Chain A
Amino acid sequence: MSDYNFAYLDEQTKRMIRRAILKGIAVPGYQVPFASREMPMPYGWGTGGVQVTAACLTPDDRLKVIDQGADDTTNAVSIRKFFQRSAGVAVTEATAEATVIQTRHRIPETPLCEGQILVYQVPIPEPLRFLEPRETETRKMHELEEYGLMHVKLYEDIARHGTIATAYAYPVKVEERYVMDPSPIPKFDNPKLSDNPAIQLFGAGREQRIYALPPYTQVVSLDFEDHPFEASKAPHDCDLCGAGDSYLDEVITDDRGSRMYVCSDTDFCAGRRAAGHVGRLGQPGAAE
């Protein structure tokens, strides 16, 4: 792919994106506008995340791409291949070995460490979007820290469902200042946002916004005193590796209502099976 510049984008574009990233890191949780480029993929497939990843990659990096926790789904495979071809970087499926991880809708189960960069694909960066449709007004609300409306959403949840039913894209407050949409990660992952040693970058391509959490940023999930935040997951263990503390996908296995629960993080699950852990439906020594 010598016809293209390293990591697809030209150097001036990468420079522009890096400036937005640096500003985002300087003001944690603040949505920085950037001149999002047309990418060779449709909006909604991670155009924002891909641009941020492209701006962060160096030839020495090792890239991991996950989609809903899995390394082997269409979105993850195609983005990984894209950077293999356009940047020639090494790729991996192991969370611990990756230097840059692009993710859609999950934070890996394996704790991240210093020096790693986690890039989120964000469809709608504005947490107040569906509460207040005017962008001029939401910007003003961020500016003046008028976040009462966010709690109106949570109030409506409790009034209607008896509990805070928002299960993903659960709003958080960053360093007691900006309210931020953590992208549609399950709220199970919200506690991992806070005090994380890795750099967390959020890219929204269609909406042309980048925001960031520098390492060890305090991130608090919004809640009520009498309805505290709860990082919920399906009340099961993984049927393949037996893990009781990882986020699970529910898989329907036949048309008679049988189902199994498996870790959504495929790398985590495979690692546990390789280490000899076996779940309800797993076979000992069956890990690939």
Chain B
Amino acid sequence: MGAVDMDICARVKEDRPLLSVQGVKKLYGNRIGCTDVTFDLFPGEVLGIVGESGSGKSTLLGCLAGHLKPDAGRILYDGRDMGALGEPERRRLSRTEWAFVHQNARDGLRMGVSAGGNVGERLMAVGARNYGTIRDTAADWLGRVEIAADRIDDRPSAFSGGMQQRLQIARNLVTGPRLVFMDEPTGGLDVSVQARLLDLLRGLVRDLGLSVVIVTHDLAVVRLLADRLMVMKSGRVVEQGLTDQVLDDPQHGYTQLLVSSVLQV
């Protein structure tokens, strides 16, 4: 524990939150998507959001990433109000300083474009115009996510599910984002592949000092990755705190149910 705390302290250098969420609310007609969500995310911090299906996790993530427009509340990124930000600026942010890892790798990849092209797209989108440099960077990133260099010209459709997910991560991280949104990054992968992916993610997050908001229903994922944890139910945050604290000593009834529902092998 001590070592982990030191680690967190070293990474959380700045006092100002990178992402500040204040009273965010999203309605679907009369139904609540999520409501009254407030939290701060500091640079280098990993925030886990857990909850059962339909608890508003993905809605919240969509609001944070700018895919959905919240009905109330404010989201400040690096001190700037996202609601007031124009679309050009928001789209620029989303391909430079932000990254979004989809649950289904096919949603985040271009299936008709080679692995190298997939990784290079963000580089070219921000103005890289040297083929050699783009290719070298792509090869380097494929190496970092443990994809063999000779697969660089293969299309993602020829990749396994785990490889596709790793490719999606490489494609997102290549421009050195500060804030990464992940929606169930390990969903649909078998357990051993999940473990390798989590190991990889943990390494990358630590090495690059990324701030991450990770949405999942898998408590093992947040136990491994997240510094802090938020538990959602019916669109509301029912409990939040340090991950180990919440998981080892759950206070809210729902959290207790969630933790005790995990199958022990």
Contacts and interface: CB of A to CB of B under 8 A. Distances in A.
Contact of A226 (B110, B116, B127, B132): B132
Contacts of A225: 129-131
Nearest to B118: A152
B132 A159 contact: no
Contacts of A224: 129-131, 134
B121 A156 contact: no
Interface in B183-234: none
B7 interface: no
Contact of B131 (A146, A148, A155, A160): A155
A22 interface: no
Interface in B147-185: 152-153
Contacts of B152: 159
Contacts of A144: 87-88, 91
Contacts of A81: none
Interface in A150-167: 151-152, 155-156, 158-160
A281 interface: no
B87 A226 contact: no
Contacts of A146: 91, 125
A159 B113 CA distance: 10
B142 to A, nearest CB: 13
Interface in A134-155: 144, 146, 148-149, 151-152, 155
A37 interface: no
Contacts of A149: 121, 124-125
A227 interface: yes
B126 interface: yes
Nearest to B152: A159
Contacts of B124: 148-149, 151-152, 155
Contacts of B132: 226
Interface string B133-154: 0110000000000000000110
A144 B131 CA distance: 24
Contacts of B120: 152, 155
Given A144-B88, A156-B113, A159-B116, A151 B153 contact: no
B167 to A, nearest CB: 15
A156 B116 CA distance: 8
Contacts of B114: 156, 159-160
A155 B91 CA distance: 23
B122 interface: yes
Nearest to A150: B124
A158 B153 CA distance: 10
A148 B87 contact: no
Contacts of A155: 116-117, 120, 124, 131, 134-135
A183 B210 CA distance: 45
Quick one: which of B124, B125, B126 has the most chain A CB within 10 A?
A: B124
A148 B127 CA distance: 7
A144 B124 CA distance: 15
B130 A226 contact: yes
Contacts of B134: 155, 224
A225 B121 CA distance: 16
A131 to B, nearest CB: 8
A172 to B, nearest CB: 15
B131 A158 contact: yes
B135 A159 contact: yes
B160 to A, nearest CB: 21
A156 B129 contact: no
A160 B114 CA distance: 9
Given A144-B91, A146-B125, 7 more contacts: A149-B121, A152-B124, A155-B124, A159-B152, A159-B153, A225-B129, A226-B131
Closest 9 A-B residue pairs measured CB to CB?
Answer: A148-B125, A224-B131, A148-B124, A151-B124, A225-B130, A144-B88, A152-B121, A226-B132, A156-B117
Interface of A: 144, 146, 148-149, 151-152, 155-156, 158-160, 224-227
23 contacts: A144-B87, A148-B121, A148-B122, A148-B124, A148-B125, A151-B129, A152-B110, A152-B124, A155-B116, A155-B117, A155-B120, A155-B134, A155-B135, A156-B113, A159-B114, A159-B116, A159-B135, A159-B152, A159-B153, A160-B153, A224-B129, A224-B131, A227-B131
